A and B are shown apart, each in its own frame.
Chain A
Amino acid sequence: MALDYTDKVIELFRNPKNVGEIENPSVEVKEGSPACGDIIQVQMKIDKDNKIQDIKFKSFGCASNIATASMATEMVKGKHIDEAEKITWKDITKELGGLPSVKIHCSVLAIDAIQQAVDKYKIQKGLRKITKDKINKDFIIDKLRHVIDPSVGTDIIRLKEVLYVRVDKKGDKADVLIELTHPEEREFESNIKQEIEEKLEFIPGIGKIQVEFKDHAPNPKSPKGI
């Protein structure tokens, strides 16, 4: 193969561990997008002591994506969710003996998925309280960092595609309005909208989510993305 993978990466790609699905998982997340060539699904079974009893993944992705997911899931299996959440990309690439630099974006996905899964679980179980007052513009922006524009494979915050975020706390829940520029390829608008909703709708304090694509920013003083 053209790319310079370590023996460890090749071995895990050929015989990945923890591939598959869990029946009735405690939590499930999907990260990435098929359009940018990488998508990963992570499912966890978490026991009453908040330890990861089982973890399984599925991947539409390249060799490094599969190898990283195999390594990452193996490293967090059996661990307490607080510990699992702290795992970093560096820890995993170190174990893998390094990755070609063009493959970094594929490998980050697995770690991201684990962190997102733990976060989602904590929020759903009330271990991480997201009350209405915690939901503000910065909170939403942080969540939007996990939404990828498939035409470029980069998140919409880094691409400055998000023009405006408004959090409206009139009732007992916070309604969210998000305005974005049209992505480079407009066919991806529905993908992006769906991903935004997936990242926000499970959060208890959030009410209505409105996503709109605009030509221009509503505030002429900040015509470029947030």
Chain B
Amino acid sequence: MDKEGFIDFEQLEKELDDQALLVSVIHGNNEIGAIQDIKRIGKLCKKHNVVFHTDATQSFCKIPLDVNDIHIDMLTMNGHKLHGPKGIGALYIKSGIKIDPLYGGGAHEFRLRPGTHNVPGIVGFAKAVEIQQKDIQKNAKQVKELRDYMVKRLCDEIEECYLNGPQDLSLDKRLPNNINLRFSYIEGESLLFRLSDFGIMASTGSACSSASLKPSHVLLALGLPHEKAHGSLRLTLSKYTTKEEVDYAVEKIKKVVEELREISPLTKR
């Protein structure tokens, strides 16, 4: 993959030898928002006769996506990423593709997944899809505009603040709701902690927020050194986010970054 998080097609084509069975590529990356060119991947897979699966949980109902237009054999989607219920998801399987169940025990869901159907989840998920699909273009545009505004303000107003992932913010390159920044000289967990005091919920690629000492594998794969990956902050917007909320968050982030830089031994004096 390249520095912005897009997959390397030369490498992919090399991997598609006669041993290859399946290609699975995330459509919109959950950390950095990079949207892969799945149409091109689909074509390549078709050419080499390899099954293509895409995880579209982040992009589903956020940007237009049509399995009739793109060669996709399987596609994963879920409810809670589109304001639907948690604990429900779906796998699209093109007719003709046969898969084994992960575990046995019952003949439910075409013998693919044992257990009683989660009916409220299914109904809620379907309703959420219905609502989201209706205004997909309008919502994408609205969220993108707000996101672009927030990125611009943060990068303009905070020194040494950088955007991780795709620099091109268009709808076919980066998820419209995703922001992933890094701030030099500070550590992500401290940042999250202080932001949560102001009611701002975010996440970080810093190792300190997890049980391991390694920072986010996604950020490392972009070629970021460890110390830079530790200072990352991911913010996610939705169609319910307002400009007032964005302005409030920008002010608080500025304040917290400044305070943490004040106590950091790495800050240049």
B206: which A residues are within 8 A, CB to CB?
Answer: 37, 62
Whether the pair A13, B265 counts as a contact (CB closer than 8 A) is no
Is A152 an interface position by the 8 A CB rule?
yes
Query: Who on chain A is nearest to B185 by CB?
Result: A60
B189: which A residues are within 8 A, CB to CB?
Answer: 62-63
Contact residues of A between 1 and 57, Cβ < 8 Å to B: 1-3, 13-14, 16, 19-20, 30, 34-41
Give Cα A119–Cα B202 distance, bound, in whole angstroms. 41
**In angstroms, how far is the closest chain B Cβ from the Cβ of A67?**
10
Is B190 an interface position by the 8 A CB rule?
yes
The prevalent SS among residues of A at the interface is mixed
Is B165 an interface position by the 8 A CB rule?
no
A36: which B residues are within 8 A, CB to CB?
Answer: 207, 213, 226
Give Cα A37–Cα B213 distance, bound, in whole angstroms. 8
Is A150 an interface position by the 8 A CB rule?
yes
- Please, how many residues of chain B have a CB less than 8 angstroms from a CB on the other chain? 27
A225: which B residues are within 8 A, CB to CB?
Answer: none
Selected contact of A60 from candidates B215, B225, B226, B264, CB within 8 Å: B264
Contact residues of A between 179 and 202, Cβ < 8 Å to B: 187
Q: A59-B265, A60-B185, A60-B265 are in contact. Are A37 and B226 (CB under 8 A)?
A: yes
A1: which B residues are within 8 A, CB to CB?
Answer: 192-193, 196
A40: which B residues are within 8 A, CB to CB?
Answer: 265
Which one of A35, A41, A187 has the greatest number of beta carbons of chain B within 10 Å? A35
Give Cα A2–Cα B230 distance, bound, in whole angstroms. 17
Is A151 an interface position by the 8 A CB rule?
yes
B213: which A residues are within 8 A, CB to CB?
Answer: 36-37, 105, 152-153
User: Which chain A residues have a beta carbon within 8 Å of chain B's beta carbons?
Assistant: 1-3, 13-14, 16, 19-20, 30, 34-41, 58-63, 66, 102, 105-106, 150-153, 187
The 10 closest A-B pairs by CB, nearest first: A41-B265, A62-B208, A34-B227, A35-B226, A58-B265, A62-B189, A153-B213, A37-B230, A60-B264, A102-B211
User: Which chain B residues have a beta carbon within 8 Å of chain A's beta carbons?
Assistant: 185-187, 189-190, 192-194, 196-197, 206-211, 213, 215, 225-227, 230, 262-266
